Homo-oligomer: A and B are copies of this chain.
């Protein structure tokens, strides 16, 4: 006899748990969130959570890892559609511009994301995962800049590595600012974007 519930059913429950966990983690942080909390929010019992995930940390990891993967895929597929290097970098800026934290919820998600980063920094096991993700994103820009230089779009004097770091510095800087201060996230980031593109553009 085939399984009593469909694959979809299980998949949806998993998603439900992940979504609930995301909300809990965002609101209270990973440590302060209990498995019961996640259960309550998803309308399940504590025990049921363990039918879908091995541990609280597994949920945390799946959650952030899935987001990362989704982002990677998104970016890769969109990059494929774009021709010029400048437009690719512009596109990346736009992703973060759209995230402008107008609501508390989004701030919470940003906090959650950075907390996960720190969590990884302190975990032997997760450090590699973190590094790999970091390198992927860094190389993405580095290579785009290199291509732009070859294509004559981007100034030859630009240090691809340095400007790749600068890009993420801007994103991190703006994100963090938006947490702790009343901050014109959107305006500042847009301005930073223009400045950045102006700098690298071939004169």
Contacts and interface: CB of A to CB of B under 8 A. Distances in A.
Interface stretch (A69-77, A147-155, A165-173): A165-173
Q: Is the interface of A mostly helix, strand, loop or mixed?
A: helix
B28 A122 contact: yes
Interface in A89-136: 107, 111, 114-115, 117-118, 121-122, 130-131, 134-135
6 contacts: A32-B122, A117-B176, A117-B179, A134-B181, A171-B173, A172-B173
Given A131-B181, A173-B173, 17 more contacts: A29-B122, A111-B121, A114-B114, A114-B176, A117-B176, A121-B179, A131-B180, A138-B181, A162-B184, A162-B187, A166-B191, A169-B170, A169-B173, A169-B174, A172-B172, A172-B177, A173-B174
